[in-house]
Amino acid sequence: MANPSILILAGDGIGPEVMAEVKKIISWYGDKRGLVFDVSEDLVGGAAYDVHGKPLADETMARAQEVDAVLLGAVGGPKYDNLDFSVKPERGLLRLRKEMDLFSNLRPAQCFDALADFSSLKKDVVAGLDIMIVRELTSGVYFGMPRGIFEENGERVGINTQRYTESEIERVARSAFELAKRRGNKVCSMEKANVMESGILWREVVQRVHDEEYPEVELSHMYADNGAMQLVRWPKQFDVIVTDNLFGDILSDCAAMLTGSLGMLPSASLGAPMENGRPKAMYEPVHGSAPDIAGQGKANPIACILSFAMALRYSFDQGDEATRLEKAIEKVLADGVRTADLMGPEGGTPVSTVEMGAKIIEALDASL
């Protein structure tokens, strides 16, 4: 059988710096665990614009459709700020999400014990936290028609339309239930069924998918505004949260920040299963290209490395190896190793991007 394939799109700014550490970890899995990946690399964002005059070449898009997983670094930077909207670096990312139809966005909020003091919440509220927000990514109010700014009765009116079809709700609900089966077996669905018809349909369809296909998973429903309160009050009550594009955008940022630094946050975007049964998938850190620290060796590579751990778990069925990698990161943090973004008020000497990567590989070696 062919090796599983990965397309690396490192992008701009700190993207290539953090991705360099991921590449070393991919090689480690080949050398030490016999998990050999067929890795190819290409350009995205400003780096692609510099060469092709657009932020994603058609050949790159075609390659992304063929591989088992895309790993993306970050795109953007001040050099590209004045480009026309149609060729801005972020358009490359949006094209990938759209053409691969990545409808299910997974945003974990996981608190490593060593960083529990970093949260703005009390330590006992966040220590050991491990929840997953599943956000619908390709429909809802960001895409619904009609949209625009129109003239009405002598004044302007801004319109966006919240719109969900049953099949769009069904597929993201399935994705959440499937995830829950591999985790704590609990899904909480969030909408505003009290004031929105799209919320009423959302609730009905999620309940039906549950009753017909996943009766063994525990399902609850919550209004999204209450969900926001509960997330900061006692987040450990949740396992998987599934919600729409708009609420998911806000709730996932809120949940992510429970755990501290942007340099720690991975994400996955999944689509429909391909012929080999694997979902179309793109994995990327939540952070951007961080132009303020790019080229200085200061970036924290953990968000990007954790994104690869998600690829191991959700694309390659290597949950144990994903856990090995997460535990290696936990060990390094517990040992007090910190990049600059993780330095607390007590200070200390931060390690570089490369040093953090090397420490994680040392911990992986020690795990054997």
Which positions touch ligand NAD (CB under 6 A)?
14, 18, 74-77, 90, 93, 262-263, 284, 287-293, 299-300, 303, 341
Q: Which is nearer to ligand NAD, 77 or 279 (CB)?
A: 77
> 29, 164, 192, 280: which one is catalytic?
192
Known binding residues for substrate are: 97, 107, 135, 225
249 is catalytic: yes
Per the annotation, the verdict on 225 as an active-site residue is: yes
**Residue 183, Cβ neighbours under 10 Å: how many?**
14
As beta bridge partners, residue 253 has none
CB nearer to ligand NAD: give 273 or 344.
344
CB of 197 to ligand NAD, least distance (A): 32
Q: Residue 107 corresponds to which amino acid? A: R
**Residues paired with residue 8 on neighbouring β-strands, in sequence order:** 41, 71
Q: How far is residue 256's CA from residue 119's CA, in Å, rounded to a whole number?
A: 10
Least gap, CB of 48 to ligand NAD (angstroms): 13
> What gap in Å lies between CA 269 and CA 283, rounded to an integer?
6
The catalytically annotated residue of 101, 113, 130, 253 is 253
d(CA 74, CA 20) in angstroms, rounded, equals 13
CA dihedral for 175, 180, 186, 188, sign (positive or negative): negative
Query: Minimum distance between the CB of residue 11 and ligand NAD, rounded to whole angstroms?
Result: 6
Tokens of residue 64, six digits? 């992304």
Complex with ligand NAD: residue 195 or 343, whichever CB lies closer? 343
Which residue among the candidates 38, 50, 117, 225 is catalytic per the annotation? 225
Smallest distance from ligand NAD to CB 141, Å: 20
* Two structure tokens written together for 173: 């609900």
By beta-carbon proximity to ligand NAD, the closer residue of 173 and 304 is 304
- Orientation of helix 302-314 relative to helix 319-334, angle to 10°: 160
* Phi, psi dihedral angles at 182 (to 5 degrees): -90, 0
Q: C-beta of 91: minimal distance to ligand NAD in Å?
A: 11
Catalytic residue status for 253: yes
* CA 12 – CA 326 distance, rounded (Å): 26
Question: At its nearest, how many Å lie between ligand NAD and the CB of residue 257?
Answer: 12
For residue 200, give both structure tokens. 């009423």
Distance CA 202, CA 187 (A): 14
Closer Cβ to ligand NAD, 189 or 261, answer by number: 261
Please say which residue, 13 or 235, places its beta carbon nearer to ligand NAD: 13
Q: Is 211 a catalytic residue?
A: no
For 255-292, b where at least 16 C-beta lie within 10 A, e where not — what string? bbbbbbbebbbbbbbbbeeeeeebbbbbbbbbbbbbbe
Are the C-beta atoms of 203 and 227 separated by less than 8 Å? no
Q: Which residues are annotated as a binding site for Mg(2+)?
A: 225, 249, 253
Catalytic residue among 54, 142, 186, 327: 142
Annotated catalytic residue, options 49, 249, 331, 341:
249
Dist. CA 363–CA 128, nearest whole Å:
20
CB of 72 to ligand NAD, least distance (A): 7
Q: Alpha carbon 46 to chain centroid distance? A: 21
CB 241 within 8 A of CB 133: yes
C-beta closer to ligand NAD: residue 170 or 355 = 355
| Catalytic residue flag (residue 192) | yes
Catalytic residues: 142, 192, 225, 249, 253
